[in-house]
Amino acid sequence: MQQKINQYTSEINDFQPKNAEEVEIFRIKFLGTKGIIKDLFEEFKTVSPEDKRLFGKVLNEFKQLAETKYQTLKEQVDSSGLSNENLNPDFTLPGEGFELGSRHPLSLVRKEIIEIFKKLGFNVAEGPEIEDDWHNFSALNFPEEHPARDMQDTFFIRSEKGDGEAYALRTHTSSVQVRMMEAGQPPFRAIMPGRVYRNEAISARAHCFFHQVEGLYIDENVSFSDLKQTLFYFVQELFGEGTKVRFRPSYFPFTEPSAEMDISCTICKGEGCQFCKYSGWVEILGCGMVDPNVLENCKIDSKKFTGYAFGMGIERITNLKYQIKDLRLFSENDVRFLKQFQSELI
Q: Which amino acid is at 289?
A: M
How far apart are alpha carbons 185 and 322 in whole angstroms? 39
How far apart CA 118 and CA 211 sit, in angstroms, is 19
Q: Measure the CA–CA gap between 227 and 311, rounded to whole angstroms.
A: 12
* Calpha distance 53→27 (Å, rounded): 27
Please give the pLDDT value at position 162: 62
What's the number of CA atoms in the CB half-sphere (13 Å) around residue 252?
Answer: 25
Residue 151 Cα distances to 132, 184, 196, angstroms:
18, 29, 15
CATH code for the structural domain at 105-341: 3.30.930.10
Q: Is residue 247 predicted with pLDDT exceeding 80? A: yes
CB 130 within 8 A of CB 170: yes
Each domain of the chain, given as residue ranges in start order, spans 2-80, 105-341
Note the pLDDT of residue 127.
Answer: 94
pTM across the whole model: 0.68
The DSSP bridge pattern shows strands 188-197 and 123-124 to be parallel
Segment 82-121, tens digit of pLDDT = 455 555 667 787 877 777 777 899 999 999 999 999 999 9
336 CB-contact burial (10 Å; exposed 0-12 / middle 13-18 / buried 19+): exposed
pLDDT score of 73:
84
Q: Which residues contact 211 (CB under 8 A, 6 or more apart)?
A: 106, 110, 193, 194, 195, 196, 313, 314, 315
pLDDT of amino acid 149: 66
Average pLDDT value for residue range 51-59: 79
Nearest one of 333, 310, 311, 313 to 321, comparing CA atoms = 313
What strand order describes the sheet that includes 130-132? 130-132, 167-169, 156-157
